[in-house]
Amino acid sequence: MALIEIPNVYDSDMAVSTARRGRFAVIGEPVVAVDLINTVAPPGTPAADDLLSSDRGAEAWWRIEAARVPDGDLPDIQALRRLRSALRNMIEALVEGRPVPQAAVSELNFFMQSAPASTRLRLTGTGLHAETHWHCEYGGNPKLAFIATQAAESLSDPSQVSRLRRCANPACSMIFMAVNPRRSWCAPGVCGNRARVARHHRRAGGF
């Protein structure tokens, strides 16, 4: 897990102060789907808080995730946001103990079926090598299908679901997988520090 700043990913016609601010994203959760849902702030916040509100933002995110997803063309940004919306609805429901919306399940199935995978075995000089081959016959994108498939495997495992947590900072919308059960913050260096500073100010009578 790491908190990274993705600077100046916004459209150049936006206010300079906004463009310079950059966008923080929590990267490196065990499944790419959790990184994906954390590219957007809660509903009602400015579009600038959505990393995927521009092609440049999406490209920056794909560069960071490149080693974790299959090779191939970058998918359409609308399709990426559609997958994110389904994953966000699904994971929010799981975190809050609500029933998962059927529409989100159908969406995830759609993305998985659009580019199914098969395993290919080939002989090497020393033995056998197995590799995953993604099929694009139906026009699907392997990167999206991979993120959906990896999420489905993880979110159908109760031991993995029990690790999903919302950041302990009430002003933060990030969700993470607490591999370490003591983890409370999306990023200790940001939300953890803010909480410590607030506690210090309360004790010191600063508020």
Contact residues for Zn ion, defined by CB under 5 A: 167, 169, 172, 174, 186, 191
151 versus 167: smaller Cβ distance to Zn ion? 167
Type of residue found at 172: C
Beta carbon of residue 171, minimum distance to Zn ion (angstroms, whole number): 8
25 versus 152: smaller Cβ distance to Zn ion? 25
Beta carbon of residue 4, minimum distance to Zn ion (angstroms, whole number): 14
Beta carbon of residue 70, minimum distance to Zn ion (angstroms, whole number): 30
Parallel, antiparallel or unpaired: strands 117-123 and 23-27: unpaired
144-181 core/surface letters (b: 16 or more CB in 10 A; e: else):
bbbbbbbbbebbeeeebeebbbbbebeebbbbbbeeee
Neighbours of 59 (CB within 10 A): 12
109 versus 193: smaller Cβ distance to Zn ion? 193
Cα separation, 78 vs 73, in Å, equals 14
171 versus 204: smaller Cβ distance to Zn ion? 171
The residue ranges of DSSP E strands in the chain, in sequence order, are 2-6, 23-27, 117-123, 128-134, 164-166, 175-177
